[in-house]
Amino acid sequence: MSTAQQELLEVSQQLLKAIDAGDWNAYAALCDERITCFEPEAEGHLVVGLAFHKFYFDLPGSGQRRLSSISSPHIDVQGDVGVVCYVRLVQKETECGPVTVASNETRIWRRTADGWKHTHLHRSPC
Ligand code: GLY
């Protein structure tokens, strides 16, 4: 794995850790403010910007105990752009006990003077 690929894996893990912890500041610091996304919560619409994502960090349940793992990552670097694809496994507690859910994620990153910034994501339904 190249240095850039290793960096992209690390920022992807940091991003998921911020989501799991409900740490908005850590999440926002890794993202471009014009980030775009397709994710199940958007019901098939393209969402632009961070406000949509902040809504979930502000919910009372945000940061509840859960753990995201990156499985089978594929990381491609094209100049200053990185494409990170993987299966995300999320372990969490429910009233019926612990469960694991899986989804496919593609995350695009752009190298800037401040490090890698997350510019686009696409997540499948679980
Ligand atoms: N819903 C925000 C993210 O997965 O990055």
Q: What is the 3-state secondary structure (H, E, C) of 70-94?
A: EEEEEEEEECCEEEEEEEEEEEEEE
Model pLDDT, residue 63: 83
Cross-strand partners of 106: 85, 122
d(CA 35, CA 115): 15
What value does the mean pLDDT take over residues 40-55? Answer: 98
Distances (CA, A) of 58 to 52, 119, 124: 11, 21, 23
> Quick check: 77 and 5 in contact, CB under 8 A?
yes
Query: Is the Cβ atom of 118 under 6 angstroms away from ligand 1?
Result: no
Chain segment 22-43, per-residue pLDDT in tens: 999 999 999 999 999 999 999 9
**Residue whose CB lies within 8 A of the most ligand 1 atoms, among 14, 19, 62, for a mutation test:** 19
> Which atom of ligand 1 is the closest one to the Cα of 15?
5
Calpha distance 57→124 (Å, rounded): 20
| pLDDT band at residue 61 using 50, 70 and 90 as cut-offs | confident
Q: How far apart are the first and last CA of the chain?
A: 28
Instruction: Enumerate domains of the chain plus CATH numbers.
Output: 3-123 (3.10.450.50)
Contact, 117 vs 31, CB < 8 A? Answer: yes
H-helix or E-strand spanning residue 19: helix 3-21
Query: CA 8 to CA 118: how far, in whole Å?
Result: 10
Round the average pLDDT of the chain to a whole number and report it.
97
**What pTM, to 2 d.p., does this model score?**
0.96
Is a pLDDT exceeding 90 seen at residue 92? Answer: yes
Residue with tokens 């339904």, as numbered in its chain: 125
